[in-house]
Amino acid sequence: MHYRELSVPGAWEITPKQHGDPRGVFLEYFKGGPFAEATGHAFDLQQANCSVSAAGVLRGIHFADVPPGQAKYVTCAKGAVLDVVVDIRVGSPTFGRWDTVLLDDTDRRAIYLGEGLGHAFMSLEDDSTVLYLCSTGYAPGREHGIHPLDPEIGITWPTTARDGSPLTPQLSEKDTAAPTLAEARAAGLLPDAAVVEEYVQGLRDRARGA
């Protein structure tokens, strides 16, 4: 299992080792030890989600208030999605930066997004099945969104599906009505980088028994 930190600090791409034979494939897509070595703290699993999406479905950009935020460890069990992390932490040196990881049923990578980061993905194939491990449970009052097509962020979304057919973004009513990054910042919805760092440092201190 190999961890690679992305260009957005606090997010990692995880590539598992696959064991295949004529029967199929076995892999460990999450292990507590390597996770703690990479991030400096344990992952406190509180909720596990599964979504199934048609080709072109675009979910996000979603985030939660910090503290406690909602860290996510995400993989794609079937199909393929382009997963995107966005730095929405006000005061961060990389504020507004985004990075991507292709999650699919070939390389079977995962992505970890720490507290205070924005998360979105686009499905590249019908019935793409995404599994999320979450550090906190769903709490509607502290969940927020940013429009995934906001030109200020400028995410380069795929225009071609896995089979070569054209993709048209399909958004939920909630995501379509989401504010831009600038509007969310003006409304005071975005997490503060210093608050996020203090919270994550607290997780690391507890892991060390400080």
Separation between Cα atoms, residue 98 and residue 155, nearest integer Å? 7
Separation between Cα atoms, residue 142 and residue 164, nearest integer Å? 38
Q: Which two tokens stand for residue 175?
A: 């995501």
For the chain, report the end-to-end CA distance as a whole number of angstroms: 28
Q: Which two tokens stand for residue 188?
A: 């005071």
Based on the residue annotation, tell me whether 132 is a catalytic residue of this protein: yes
77's CB contacts (< 8 A; 6+ apart) are 105, 129, 130, 131
Q: Single out the residue of 6, 8, 4 nearest to residue 193, CA to CA.
A: 8
The one catalytic residue in 62, 119, 144, 147 is 62
What residue spans of 24-135 are helical by DSSP H?
Answer: 32-39
ω into 158 cis (within 30 of 0)? no
The one catalytic residue in 3, 29, 132, 199 is 132
Residue 39 DSSP label: H
- Let me know: does 80 contact 128? Beta carbons within 8 Å: yes
Catalytic residues: 62, 132
